[in-house]
Amino acid sequence: ERGRYARDAALLSLPVLGPLIKKSLVSRFSLSLSTLLKSGVPAVESLAVVKKTVGNKPLEEAVGRIHDRIIEGQEISSIMEKSGVFPPLVGYMIAVGEESGRLEEMLEIINEYYDEEIESATARFTSVLEPVMIIALAFIVGFVVLAVLLPIMEMGEIV
């Protein structure tokens, strides 16, 4: 368990992939919670189910704390803002959803927003990665060509 927590926390703190992973987890969390709430499942039970499906130990523990605090009567948004795991935007949007009585809709909006963020971040990442891969492959091909041609040229000098 501790190893899994450390691994998941390390993944979230990676320079380039960490924010992408976090956005993906938040998107999945908001979609799952929205679907359950729309289906009529009470918030406490919905959070218990979502906790099991999150797939990231730090986020799972944060959802567990949210679950426990809701039972005590606190609002989801205030707990999320204090968790440090969820981006501030998520806490603000959920606060608006709680106040307006449209939490499910706000969770869907959060999901859509982060899905778009993931797509644009992935596109940026691949656009940067392509030239790097081409240069790396050019070096590899150049090395192989030199490794093959140099011995052949040296054999020509010997004869």
- The pLDDT value given to residue 55: 87
pLDDT tops 80 at residue 158? no
Burial 42-80 (b: 16+ CB within 10 A, else e): ebeebbeebbeebebbbbbbbbebbbebbeeeebbbebb
Q: Are 87 and 26 in contact (CB under 8 A)?
A: yes
Per-residue pLDDT tens for 115-140?
A: 999 999 999 989 989 999 999 999 99
Give the model's confidence band at 159: pLDDT under 50 very low, under 70 low, under 90 confident, else very high.
Answer: low
Average the pLDDT over 134-155 and give the result.
Answer: 94
Could you write out the DSSP letters of every residue in 78-133?
HHHHHHSSS-HHHHHHHHHHHHHT-HHHHHHHHHHHHHHHHHHHHHHHHHHHHHHH
Distances (CA, A) of 47 to 2, 40, 60, 108, 152: 22, 13, 10, 16, 68
What domains can you pick out in the chain, each with its CATH number?
2-117 (1.20.81.30)
Per-residue pLDDT tens for 42-74?
A: 999 999 999 999 989 999 999 999 999 999 988
Global confidence as pTM: 0.80
Show Cβ contacts of residue 2 under 8 Å, excluding neighbours closer than 6 positions: none
Site of tokens 């959802």: 63
